[in-house]
């Protein structure tokens, strides 16, 4: 509110020394108030103190730049990544050593309950998803228990989990789970680990933003952007495997963006950074990534348009205050007085309204479709189905050979779906199959068997994707065109994959690339199967910790120490998956720059080139007949309502997920849901979000069908295509 008030009163035009001092004081108070507010929100958001640390760390480092290293700050910035990385390693190792140095340090039900009682975490007495029978044994005024099955360090009674199902001290054994939704306990225990991740992230941000490498700022931005995207992918893969680590990871990602911005401003200075952004970064970004303009505009509309309308509202109020002629505000000339918004907001609004809105809206809806598929189909429905399967296996007591064949069949089916990552498949092997194999093979033998089965499953899926899908479709020009076979990136991938032996670059692409597209591409490019399968074998380093994390979740039901190892293995899984993706991107970019001769030796697919030329011609016609200025009014309303529905759907499921879905982990059972029904995973708001998603998806498909009919009609009337040179140039610019 204070910042909005300062903006409305034109704080940037305060030029007297007194007003500048007032402005600086207000900004400082706002920053302190924000940090204090975030810190004291820990009662509701337990990761808030960690987020404060993330924001204070770059401020602290930049303070020393101004106090000691003002004259040689370039050396200071170039020197920082080393110590930060060192402390990241030291913190991580120290936390691991501390964790395994004592049973009381390992993550367990007892440790969780002790932490929860210490911080006053509310027990879960929800009548549908909690343990209401335990409520009579709890004193809410003093936050203590009248029964016990154990004691904390101070001798207070706590409902610690027991190995038996009996009653100890009057406390039912199920009461040990009343703190199952307490994220506070997990954050207290794991904060040193996240602190290590913070140091690790900041060290790489300083590398990217080294003042000596300012010309690489667009590449640095895209690298950071890709890192964030990969972290979201990891969070999507691990979602429902461990609610604590996933929630904390998502908060970590958001504040990592803010931390990166603070570091950038601290390194270059506010004015220099603004100048770099306006003159250096934006121009180079447009030059390098101009072909993705429609994508970024669509993403902007989908994510930021509610904020844009709020900004325009504030700009309207700001202009109204200026027209009153108050001494603190900017004095307007005759032309500016005619404007309803501020001059800057008017120019921005004019620029946005001048966009060719048809492709922007359709792109925004398509991005929303992808986001919702990943957010609902992968992280909700997939895990629900796997949890139902686990319950079925346990209830009917299936033997390990049957379960093994079942896991292979289900795993292959899931691998055939492009959006589904492999992590949940391996995790379920450790969670479900080890338990079934234990009577025949023992825990160790069952674990080794599941890891090998996961590798075999991955190799079988790769072979099917490459031989049965990729090679079968390689003669289909449309499929080759869809895969962009003539692009430098795809030809570079072919150069790397054709190299003999198991190079790090080849393995990084085969492991770090998305499961389905990578294998299908190998088939389309006609690569030999055996070398590809051999190069895929190192994926075992990703499979092993994932299976182990599922195993330790299963063992955590009886062994308290296993929960600690489950968290560690999930962290290793996330780092391994992210690292393999980053390495794949690194080697592809490196090969594009270094393997130019090998790239030139690969012939262009003439059939695909002809198809690309035809598609470009059709795209120009499509743009011509669907220009926003000539669209019928009903079709404009149709598209606007479609993007409106998609924005609401995405905001509901992403920003208010707790109001849309019940808490459901991969280790949960359907009976844990309200009334024990699978459909009750979705709350009423969740059903509304899904309905809006379906409606918006149908709307964009209807529009495309309508537009394609207009393209066909235009081609019949104008067989020569778009012939006007000026019009073609305009269309190329818009596309």
| Cα 91 to Cα 98: distance, rounded to the nearest angstrom | 10
Between 708 and 198, residue with greater pLDDT: 708
Which pairs from 682-685 meet CB under 8 Å and 24+ separation? 683/659, 685/652, 685/656, 685/659, 685/660
Q: String of b and e for 152-184 (b: at least 16 CB within 10 Å)?
A: beeebbbbbbbeeeeeeeebbbebbbbbbbbbb
Give the pLDDT score at 641.
94
| Cα 185 to Cα 246: distance, rounded to the nearest angstrom | 14
pLDDT band (50, 70, 90) for residue 4? low
Give the pLDDT score at 504.
80
| Cα 671 to Cα 678: distance, rounded to the nearest angstrom | 8
- Give the pLDDT mean for 30-46: 72
pLDDT band (50, 70, 90) for residue 244? very low
- Give the pLDDT mean for 616-642: 90
pLDDT tens digits for range 96-149: 888 888 777 777 777 777 788 777 788 888 776 677 878 777 777 777 776 655
Between 38 and 290, residue with greater pLDDT: 38
Question: 128: helix, coil or strand?
Answer: coil
- The gap from C-alpha 455 to its chain's centroid, in whole angstroms, comes to 26
The DSSP call for residue 380 is: I
Q: Tell me which residue of 283, 279, 263 sits closest to 211, measured CA to CA.
A: 263
Give the pLDDT score at 129.
61
Give the pLDDT score at 407.
84
- Give the pLDDT mean for 40-63: 74
Q: String of b and e for 551-567 (b: at least 16 CB within 10 Å)?
A: bbbbbbeeebbbbbbbb
pLDDT band (50, 70, 90) for residue 678? confident
Count of alpha carbons within 13 Å of 246, Cβ hemisphere only? 17
Supply φ then ψ for residue 384, to 5 degrees.
-65, -45
Supply φ then ψ for residue 407, to 5 degrees.
-65, -40
The token pair at 362 is 């359709």
pLDDT band (50, 70, 90) for residue 632? very high
Neighbours of 104 (CB within 10 A): 10
**Residue 434 to residues 424, 446, 561: CA-CA distances in angstroms?**
15, 5, 18
Residues 12, 13, 16, 20, Cα dihedral to 10°: -10
Give the pLDDT score at 691.
93
pLDDT band (50, 70, 90) for residue 183? confident
Neighbours of 658 (CB within 10 A): 11
If you average pLDDT over every residue of the chain, what do you get?
Answer: 75
Task: With a cut of 60, say whether residue 156 has pLDDT above it.
Answer: no
Task: With a cut of 90, say whether residue 548 has pLDDT above it.
Answer: no
Between 302 and 164, residue with greater pLDDT: 302
Question: 654: helix, coil or strand?
Answer: helix
Question: 572: helix, coil or strand?
Answer: helix
Residue by residue, DSSP assigns 201-236 as HHHHHHHHT-GGGGGGHHHHHHHHHHHHHHHHHHHH
Task: With a cut of 60, say whether residue 535 has pLDDT above it.
Answer: yes
344-348, 383-387, 696-700: the lowest-pLDDT one: 383-387
| Cα 220 to Cα 281: distance, rounded to the nearest angstrom | 10
- Give the pLDDT mean for 708-717: 87
- Rounded to 10°, the helix 633-655/357-372 angle is 30
The token pair at 726 is 């000026």
pLDDT band (50, 70, 90) for residue 562? low
Q: Tell me which residue of 424, 291, 315 sits closest to 363, measured CA to CA.
A: 291
Q: Give the global pTM.
A: 0.65
Q: Are 10 and 328 in contact (CB under 8 A)?
A: yes
Between 555 and 371, residue with greater pLDDT: 371
Residue by residue, DSSP assigns 280-296 as IIHHHHHHHHGGGHHHH
- Give the pLDDT mean for 345-374: 89
Give the pLDDT score at 694.
93
Instruction: Map tokens 């092993």 to a residue.
Output: 544
Q: Which residues contact 62 (CB under 8 A, 6 or more apart)?
A: 262, 263, 266, 267
Q: Is residue 106 packed enough to be buried (19+ CB in 10 Å), middle (13-18) or exposed (0-12)?
A: buried
- Give the pLDDT mean for 374-379: 69
Residue 44, H or E segment: none
Q: Is residue 500 packed enough to be buried (19+ CB in 10 Å), middle (13-18) or exposed (0-12)?
A: exposed
Supply φ then ψ for residue 559, to 5 degrees.
-115, 115
Instruction: Map tokens 């202009």 to a residue.
Output: 319
pLDDT band (50, 70, 90) for residue 688? very high
Q: Is residue 725 packed enough to be buried (19+ CB in 10 Å), middle (13-18) or exposed (0-12)?
A: exposed
| Cα 563 to Cα 476: distance, rounded to the nearest angstrom | 50
| Cα 600 to Cα 491: distance, rounded to the nearest angstrom | 9
- Give the pLDDT mean for 493-507: 78
| Cα 210 to Cα 23: distance, rounded to the nearest angstrom | 30
Return the percentage of the chain with pLDDT > 90, whole number. 7
Q: Which residues contact 341 (CB under 8 A, 6 or more apart)?
A: 312, 315, 316, 319, 349
Strand partners for 548: none
pLDDT band (50, 70, 90) for residue 642? very high
pLDDT band (50, 70, 90) for residue 36? confident
| Cα 683 to Cα 701: distance, rounded to the nearest angstrom | 27
Annotated domain spans of the chain? 1-44, 398-604
């Amino acid at each position: 509110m204070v910042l909005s008030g300062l903006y409305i009163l034109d704080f940037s035009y305060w030029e007297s020394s007194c007003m500048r001092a007032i402005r600086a004081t207000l900004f400082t108070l706002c920053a302190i108030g924000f940090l204090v507010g975030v810190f004291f929100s820990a009662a509701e958001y337990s990761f808030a103190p960690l987020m404060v640390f993330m924001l204070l760390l770059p401020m602290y480092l930049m303070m020393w730049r101004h106090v000691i290293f003002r004259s040689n700050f370039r050396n200071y910035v170039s020197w920082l990544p080393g110590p930060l990385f060192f402390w990241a390693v030291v913190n991580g190792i120290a936390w691991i050593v501390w964790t395994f140095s004592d049973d009381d340090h390992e993550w367990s039900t007892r440790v969780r309950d002790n932490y929860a009682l210490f911080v006053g975490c509310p027990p879960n007495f929800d009548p549908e998803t909690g343990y209401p029978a335990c409520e009579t044994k709890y004193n809410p005024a003093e936050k203590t228990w009248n029964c016990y099955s154990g004691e904390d360090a101070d001798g207070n009674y706590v409902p610690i989990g027991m190995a038996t199902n009996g009653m100890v001290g009057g406390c039912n054994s199920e009461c040990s789970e009343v703190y199952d939704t307490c994220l506070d306990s997990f954050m207290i225990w794991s904060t040193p680990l996240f602190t290590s991740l913070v140091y690790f992230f900041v060290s790489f941000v300083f590398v990217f933003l080294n003042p000596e490498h300012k010309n690489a700022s667009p590449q640095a931005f895209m690298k950071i952007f890709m890192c964030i995207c990969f972290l979201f992918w990891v969070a999507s893969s691990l979602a429902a495997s461990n609610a604590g680590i996933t929630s904390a990871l998502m908060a970590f990602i958001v504040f990592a963006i803010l931390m990166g911005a603070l570091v950038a401003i601290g390194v270059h200075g506010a004015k220099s950074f603004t100048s770099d952004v306006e003159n250096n970064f934006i121009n180079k970004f447009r030059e390098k990534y101009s072909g993705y303009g429609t994508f970024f505009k669509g993403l902007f509309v989908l994510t930021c348009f509610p904020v844009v309308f709020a900004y325009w509202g504030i700009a309207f109020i700001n202009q109204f205050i200026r027209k009153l002629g108050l001494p603190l505000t900017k004095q307007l000339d005759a032309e500016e007085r005619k404007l309803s918004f501020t001059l800057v907001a008017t120019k921005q609004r004019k620029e946005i309204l001048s966009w060719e809105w048809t492709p922007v809206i359709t792109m925004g809806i398509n991005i929303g479709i992808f986001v919702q598929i990943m957010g609902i189909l992968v992280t909700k429905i997939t895990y629900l189905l796997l949890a139902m399967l686990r319950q079925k296996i346990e209830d009917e007591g299936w033997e390990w050979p049957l379960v093994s064949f079942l896991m292979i069949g289900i795993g292959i089916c899931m691998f055939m779906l492009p959006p589904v990552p492999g992590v949940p498949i391996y995790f379920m092997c450790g969670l479900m199959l080890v338990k079934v194999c234990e009577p025949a093979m023992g825990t160790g033998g069952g674990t080794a068997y599941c890891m090998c089965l996961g590798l075999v499953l991955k190799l079988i899926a790769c072979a099917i994707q490459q031989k049965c899908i990729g090679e079968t479709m390689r003669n289909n020009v449309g499929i080759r065109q869809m895969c962009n076979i003539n692009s430098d990136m795809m030809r570079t991938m072919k150069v790397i994959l054709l190299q003999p032996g198991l190079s790090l670059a080849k393995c990084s692409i085969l492991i770090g690339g998305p499961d389905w597209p990578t294998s299908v591409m190998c088939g389309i490019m006609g690569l030999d199967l055996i070398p590809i399968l051999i190069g895929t074998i190192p994926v075992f380093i990703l499979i092993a910790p994932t299976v182990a994390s599922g195993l330790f979740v299963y063992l955590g039901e009886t062994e308290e120490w296993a929960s600690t190892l489950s968290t560690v293995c999930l962290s290793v899984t996330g780092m391994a998956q992210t690292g393999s993706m980053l390495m794949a991107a690194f080697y592809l970019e490196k090969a594009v720059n270094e393997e130019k001769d090998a790239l030139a030796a690969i012939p262009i697919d003439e059939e695909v080139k002809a198809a690309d030329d035809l598609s470009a011609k059709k795209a120009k016609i499509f743009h011509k007949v669907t220009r926003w200025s000539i669209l019928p009014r009903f079709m404009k309303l149709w598209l606007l309502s479609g993007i409106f529905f998609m924005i609401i759907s995405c905001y509901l499921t992403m920003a208010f997920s707790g109001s849309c879905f019940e808490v459901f982990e991969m280790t949960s059972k359907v009976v844990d849901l309200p009334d024990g029904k699978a459909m009750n995973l979705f709350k009423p708001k969740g059903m509304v979000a899904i309905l809006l998603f379906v409606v918006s998806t149908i709307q964009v498909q209807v529009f495309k069908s309508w537009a394609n009919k207009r393209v066909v009609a235009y081609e019949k009337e104008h067989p020569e295509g778009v012939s006007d040179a000026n019009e073609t140039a305009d269309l190329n610019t818009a596309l």
